[in-house]
């Protein structure tokens, strides 16, 4: 009925607007960091390329693709943004072509000349493919480009495709980021390895921005809801993300100082955990089940 105010709908609209503003700000951050890396390559500033001497460097093509990602987020963030924006589609196509050709180089062993097309990478050993973005970065950019192109087409469930690919990007880059937290930069699955620290951070931001662009549809519908389910999910999500990482970091840290993570538990939980661990270590059957 007209004239009736629906608080939940008003709150949802406010939340959706906030999500889109966050996506726009993320776009600016990605553009700024990408530009800093480009300038670092032009003037050979190692701190901008790899942050620390022992870390991997963000390649020139990677920074260029990130700038394109940032501009896409800026164009797609407003609520009135057109789904078939030709500029955003061209930027997405550029990202897809560069990353796709890079994956083709890895798969075929050929060198197409795109890695050092603009800036020559002289600091990387020849066997490590100078100037070439990592396979993980190329895979993430391929998913990002495909996701934005899906939005530009009249595909059914295009928003769902965008958000699923955004989550995949967050998972891959998040694994690389957690590797830096634990001091592990080489994984059994090479797709998680050799990604620069700021590359991993920007991919997480890209994925988050892609989710925030359409907060009222697809997977984000419940997360951005103004009802109790959405509010509970938003409050629990930081703990869901941080707690496993923090617990994994505390366990080896406690062993280094001579204390296990059990000393951080309340007494009633500590006794049960200690008993289960002893039984787990004694019983081969239990180990096989675990």
Is residue 175 located within the same domain as residue 86?
Answer: yes
Task: Give the model's pLDDT for residue 62.
Answer: 96
pLDDT digits (tens, 9 = 90+) for 182-195: 776 665 555 555 78
Q: What pLDDT, on a 0 to 100 scale, did the predictor assign at position 53? A: 83
Residues 150 and 282 in one domain: no
Determine contact, residues 166/147, Cβ cutoff 8 Å. Answer: yes
pLDDT score of 186: 61
| 76 and 157 within one domain | yes
Same domain for 155 and 264? no
Task: State how far the alpha carbon of 275 is from the alpha carbons of 262, 263, 267, 272, 280, in Å.
Answer: 11, 14, 12, 5, 8
Domain closes at, from 226, 249, 275: 226
Single residue among 226, 244, 268 that ends a domain in this structure:
226
Per-position DSSP letters for the chain, written without gaps between them: -TT---HHHHHHHHHHHHHHHHHHHHHHHHHHHHHHHHHHHHTT-HHHHHSSTTSPPPPHHHHHHHHHHHHHHHHHSSTT--TT-HHHHHHHHHHHHHHHHHHHHHHH----S-TTSSS---SS-GGG-TTPPPHHHHHHHHHHHHHHHHHHTT-TTHHHHHHHHHHHHHHHHHHHHHHHHTT----SSGGGSS--HHHHHHHHHHHHHHHHHSTTSTTHHHHT-SSHHHHHHHHHHHHHHHHHHHHHHHHHHHHHTT--GGGGS-HHHHHHHHHHHHHHHH-HHHHHH-
Q: How confident is the model at residue 288 (pLDDT cuts 50, 70, 90)?
A: very low
Please check whether residue 65 lies inside any domain of the structure.
yes
pLDDT at 68: 97
User: Is the same domain home to 21 and 121?
Assistant: yes
With respect to residue 252, please indicate whether it lies within any of the assigned structural domains.
no
207 with 265, same domain? no
CA-nearest of 84, 52, 27 to 180 is 52
Q: Is residue 237 part of a domain?
A: no
Domain tally for the chain? 2
Whether 98 is in a domain gets the answer yes
Residue indicated by tokens 């391929």: 142
* Confidence (pLDDT) at 232: 80
Integer Cα distance of 111 and 42 in angstroms: 23
pLDDT in tens, 102-148: 999 999 988 898 999 988 888 888 877 889 998 999 999 999 999 99
Percent of the chain with pLDDT over 70: 77
Per-residue pLDDT at 109: 87
Q: Same structural domain for residues 85 and 179?
A: yes
Same domain, 119 and 181: yes
- Cα 47 to its chain centre, rounded Å, is 22
Domain carrying residue 99: 7-226
pLDDT in tens, 191-237: 555 788 999 999 999 999 999 998 888 788 777 777 777 778 778 88
Please give the pLDDT value at position 212.
92
Average pLDDT, the chain: 80
pLDDT score recorded for residue 282: 57
Residue 267 has pLDDT above 60, yes or no: no
Q: Tell me the C-alpha distance between 136 and 142, whole Å.
A: 10
Identify whether residues 189 and 279 lie together within a single domain.
no
Query: 17 and 101, same structural domain?
Result: yes
Give 20-58 pLDDT, tens digit per residue.
999 999 999 999 999 999 999 999 898 899 888 888 889
Tokens representing residue 86 in the block: 């030709």
The predicted pLDDT at position 91 comes to 96
Query: Is residue 244, in this structure, part of any structural domain at all?
Result: no
Looking at residue 187, what is its pLDDT? 59
Q: Which residue has the higher pLDDT, 12 or 93?
A: 93
**Domain check: are 46 and 189 in the same one?**
yes
Residue 2 lies in a domain: no
Task: Please report whether residue 87 resides in a domain.
Answer: yes
**Is 148 part of any domain?**
yes
Are 280 and 149 found together in one domain? Answer: no
- pLDDT at residue 162 tops 90: yes
Per-residue pLDDT at 251: 62
pLDDT digits (tens, 9 = 90+) for 64-116: 999 999 999 999 988 767 777 899 999 999 999 999 999 999 999 888 989 99
């Amino acid at each position: 009925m007209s004239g009736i105010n629906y608080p939940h709908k008003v709150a949802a609209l406010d939340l959706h607007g906030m999500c889109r503003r966050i996506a726009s700000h993320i776009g600016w951050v990605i553009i700024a960091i990408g530009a800093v890396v480009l300038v670092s390559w032009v003037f050979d500033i190692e701190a901008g390329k790899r942050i620390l001497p022992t870390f991997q460097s963000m390649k020139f093509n990677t920074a260029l693709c990130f700038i394109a990602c940032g501009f896409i987020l800026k164009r797609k963030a407003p609520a009135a943004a057109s789904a078939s924006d030709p500029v955003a589609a061209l930027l997405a196509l550029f990202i897809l072509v560069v990353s796709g050709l890079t994956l083709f180089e890895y798969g075929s062993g050929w060198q197409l000349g795109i890695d050092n097309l603009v800036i020559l990478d002289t600091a990387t050993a020849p066997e490590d493919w100078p100037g070439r973005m990592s396979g993980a970065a190329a895979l993430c950019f391929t998913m990002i480009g495909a996701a934005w192109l899906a939005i530009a087409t009249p595909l059914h469930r295009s928003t769902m495709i965008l958000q699923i690919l955004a989550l995949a990007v967050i998972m891959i880059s998040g694994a690389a980021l957690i590797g830096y937290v634990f001091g592990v930069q080489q994984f059994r699955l090479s797709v998680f390895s050799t990604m620069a620290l700021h590359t991993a951070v920007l991919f997480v931001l890209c994925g988050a921005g892609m989710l925030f662009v359409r907060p009222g549809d697809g997977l984000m519908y419940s997360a951005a809801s103004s009802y109790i389910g959405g509010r509970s999910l938003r409050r629990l999500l930081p703990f869901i993300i941080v707690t496993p990482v923090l617990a994994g970091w505390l366990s080896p840290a406690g062993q280094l100082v001579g204390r296990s993570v059990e000393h951080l538990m309340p007494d009633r939980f500590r006794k049960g955990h200690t008993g289960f661990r002893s039984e787990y270590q004694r019983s081969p059957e239990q180990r096989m089940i675990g």
